[in-house]
Structure 1
């Protein structure tokens, strides 16, 4: 490397100076052309119908509650039964179960429903 030069081949001590410029002037905003702002009854009725549709869809989403899912081991402890009996009830569709990533997950609400169906009044 030549004496007095840095790696980029420039002489030492010669750095670019920061140049500050004045901010650009804001452009003047011209008035927008006038539009017809009249609203018809049909436009209002269409808007109300759309709002009602969205409202019905949102109320349907709120009604759903999240599933309580548990592994087989956790479900056995929750239901106070062995895994063989639990699998038997899953196969007979008394209890709802799902497969996810190779694991069986049991819906604990279905376990509660099964227990409520099998209760004997005194």
Structure 2
């Protein structure tokens, strides 16, 4: 299975509303619950109505479209990283999954996944 590196830095944020999110940007992940409005975006695109933020994330994408019947893909990747003491922030989309790790762990995460048999592209 291929994992694609995404080189841009990401931020994980809480926002007042989504009015200032740049949806034309390459990456914008939003989540709304009864308790919060969350945004994961490129650090350079964090909107000014952010109430809390954590910078310093790097991302990778599981390549290809993952069928909903596939089981355990994210679990296997998170296990490899957990065994290497690397925490993750996971995002699932309709097509695939994205795994974010803190910048200081990014290189080690990619190496651990390569050792586990994943092709890093």
Q: Same fold (TM over 0.5)?
A: no
Bigger strand fraction: 2
TM-score by length of structure 1 reads 0.23
Give the TM-score taking structure 2 as reference length. 0.23
Instruction: Identify the structure with bigger relative contact order (alpha carbons < 8 Å, sequence gap 6+).
Output: 2
Question: Which of the pair is proportionally richer in helix?
Answer: 1
